[in-house]
Structure 1
Amino acid sequence: MTKVVIYKVNVEFGDCDPAKIVWFPNYFKWLDAASRNFFVQCGVPSWKETEKTMGVLGTPLVDIHTRFVKTASYGDQLDVHVRVSEWRNTSFVMDYKIYRGSDLILEAQDVRVFAAFCDTDNPDQPSIRAVPIPQIVLDLCR
């Protein structure tokens, strides 16, 4: 059984376009916040801390697929259901479903990698690379 974490969003007037529906980039902002919240709820320390202790600076997005089902507007309260559907060596797949009550608003799936800085010849231009997912993270999040 995979863990499901729910991230709550209150849609504000400023989240909407002139048609009074959520402007689509805001969904991506909420998905990103829900992704980080998943790790927080599972007990993973802040990315600042994991960078110090494990070298992991975060989980950047490398692919996303989204299906918009219904619209949402200001005043709506949304629940973003998040789970990891697949763990890989350096990456993982997150599934999201956003609900307003029992109404499905959006479904999405993204792929993220665990990333760390790697040494380069130019210290002013650090490079980022995917690294194996630390076992402690897997233990906390499964």
Structure 2
Amino acid sequence: MTYERIIQIEFNHCDPAGIVFYPRYFEMVNSVIENFFADVVGRSFAAMHFGASNGVPTVAMEAVFQRPSRLGEKVRFRLRVEKVGGSSVKMWIEGHGDDGLRLKVGMTLAWIDGMKAAPWPAEMRAALERYRETQDA
């Protein structure tokens, strides 16, 4: 099953013309990732950042913007895991509106422990791999 989250476009997301200001998309994408880690991987950002010196910072990002999103619309974000590495994960997040693809963002995140890249904890790696194998089911 593919992880999805619907985000309604609010006034704070938009420029004066009522169209999403592109950096706001990155905030939405981060929200999808943060919820994915809590809901699917089993480790919330709060637990990573406040309970330990861990985290999953973004080390690479690419984005393609297909169509604008406007105030009041709902965008369905879908997250796909492409590859789980030793200490990183490559994922794609697509945002779809009623008229099709709005944006596609590729991201590489790295697991850090004590501010240095480290191997994934076994339970997190297993959850990411399990999701990758079943995301299209």
TM-score, normalised via structure 2 length? 0.85
Per residue, is there more helix in 1 or in 2? 2
Gaps of 5+ in 2: 131-137
Kept in 1: contact 2:7–2:77 (CA 8 A): yes
> 1:102–1:73: structure 2 CA closer, same or farther, 3 Å change rule?
closer
- What is the letter of the counterpart of residue 124 of structure 2? V
- Are positions 1:93 and 2:80 aligned together? no
Kept in 2: contact 1:48–1:57 (CA 8 A): no
- What is the letter of the counterpart of residue 76 of structure 1? E
The aligned residue for residue 125 of structure 2 is: 138
**Which of 112, 115, 134 pairs up with 1:115?**
112
Gaps of 5+ in 1: 118-127
**Aligned-pair identity (%):** 23
State the alpha-carbon separation in 2 of the partners of residues 72 and 38 from structure 1. Answer: 23
Alignment of 1:7-86 (within 5 A): 7-50=5-48, 55=52, 57-86=54-83
Number of positions where the alignment pairs a residue of Structure 1 with one of Structure 2: 129
State the alpha-carbon separation in 2 of the partners of residues 92 and 99 from structure 1. Answer: 23
Kept in 2: contact 1:56–1:114 (CA 8 A): no
> 1:97–1:76: structure 2 CA closer, same or farther, 3 Å change rule?
same
Q: CA RMSD in A?
A: 1.9
State the alpha-carbon separation in 2 of the partners of residues 30 and 46 from structure 1. Answer: 16
Kept in 2: contact 1:67–1:106 (CA 8 A): yes
Moved more, 43-52 or 84-93: 43-52
TM-score, normalised via structure 1 length? 0.82
State the alpha-carbon separation in 1 of the partners of residues 50 and 23 from structure 2. Answer: 31
Kept in 2: contact 1:5–1:41 (CA 8 A): no
Kept in 1: contact 2:37–2:45 (CA 8 A): no
State the alpha-carbon separation in 1 of the partners of residues 45 and 65 from structure 2. Answer: 30
